Amino acid sequence: MKGQRKISVIVPTCDRPAFLREALASVRALEGPDLTFEILVGDNGSDPETLAVAKKFAAIHLKATTPGASAARNAGLRAATGNYLAFLDDDDVWLPGTLRPHLALLDARPELEGVIGQTIYTDPLLVPHGPPWPQDIMGNGRELLRRMLSGFFPQIGTTVARIAVRDRIGEFDEELIGGEDLDWLLRMARPHRLGFVATPCILFRGRPPGSYDALQRRRIGYDRRVFFRHAIPEWRIWTSPIDFYRAYSGTLMHFFRYFVDAAVARAARGERLQALRAITTALSIFPIRTAYHLVAPRPLRKAFLASIVPRRRAVEASQRAAK
């Protein structure tokens, strides 16, 4: 690549200055003679330390007027002056090998508006769970679109896009508190203007298991909305109604698995009401699939029985069975 590229890096944040410091450090570490960054911190929190962290890394601090990551990203999107856009959530960090492979693909494929890459999922301490994901080559065009409408959710922190995309697809939907980044990326993918590079881009910091049930419940409806918003106009990519349903199932499967695992874990800890609520949420996602898990010899059935039988009776029954 010739010359120095300027990338506007948009970082939404809300009262997490310690995480933000790590994120911004990972951005500045990637600068070089071929690459410079305009860091735009969209802040809809109230912690005064956020401004100090932004100043330390020569970032532009922008106050977002409404809550949510979409509003914070939009504040940065409006102010961006770079040749390219990139994104990083405040609790994630970029890896050294990211960005430059994206730019190389954009140079080679002028019809593309943006490029996504791989994510390494980690625990809260940034210790990886496994290899970069996805492992298989996603391809471009129709196949990439199908995958994104069937359960593949690219992390926004793996994205580099040309600045011109801002005018064509617009801002993030501030009415969405879940799926807003997928919605934005699908606007590039639908006309086949989104590419993929098999490059590990970010360490994605996961939350502690079982710590965000309420957030997951709220997100279910938003992910449904995003799916139908984009899948119905693209009906020609589905070979049959069954094919369409499989894509829909793939979109919501991670929610189903989350609440099945949550029910099993809570029942094991004797948290009967929480377990039953998790089972109810799983039923609301996939009624038939959940009913099968409740009648078949599956962990969810055991969790359900443990939750509806009083703990004392369950212990007595277990003791009788042991004699």
pLDDT in tens, 211-255: 788 889 999 999 999 999 999 999 999 999 999 999 999 999 999
| pLDDT at residue 207 in the model | 81
Task: Work out the average pLDDT over 41-47.
Answer: 94
Q: Quick one: pLDDT at residue 317?
A: 47
Structural domain count of the chain: 2
Which of 169, 188, 205 terminates a domain? The answer is 205
pLDDT at 1: 46
Residue 216: Cβ-neighbour burial (10 angstroms; 0-12, 13-18, 19+):
middle
Model-level pTM?
A: 0.90
Q: Are residues 189 and 234 in the same domain?
A: no
Residue 297, both tokens = 């010899």
Cα–Cα distance, 18 to 10 (Å, whole number): 17
Q: Identify the bridge partners of residue 38 per DSSP, sorted by sequence position.
A: 8
Does 54 lie in the same domain as 196?
Answer: yes
Domain range for 252 is 213-322
Task: Give the pLDDT band (50/70/90) at residue 118.
Answer: very high
Say if residue 200 is in the same domain as residue 250. Answer: no
Same domain? 165 vs 235: no
**Residue 40 dihedral angles phi and psi, to the nearest 5°:** -120, 110
24 & 107 share domain:
yes
Secondary structure element (H or E) that encloses residue 307, with its range: helix 299-308
User: Residue 175: helix, strand or coil by DSSP?
Assistant: coil
Mean pLDDT, the chain, as a whole number? 92
Asked if 7 contacts 35 with a C-beta cutoff of 8 angstroms, the reply is: yes
Which tokens is 130 given?
A: 């496994």
Tally Cβ neighbours within 10 Å of residue 51: 15
Distances from the Cα of 204 to the Cα of 82, 162, 187, 252, 298, angstroms: 25, 23, 23, 20, 31
Query: 318 falls in which pLDDT band (50, 70, 90)?
Result: very low
- On whether both 188 and 281 belong to a single domain, the answer is no
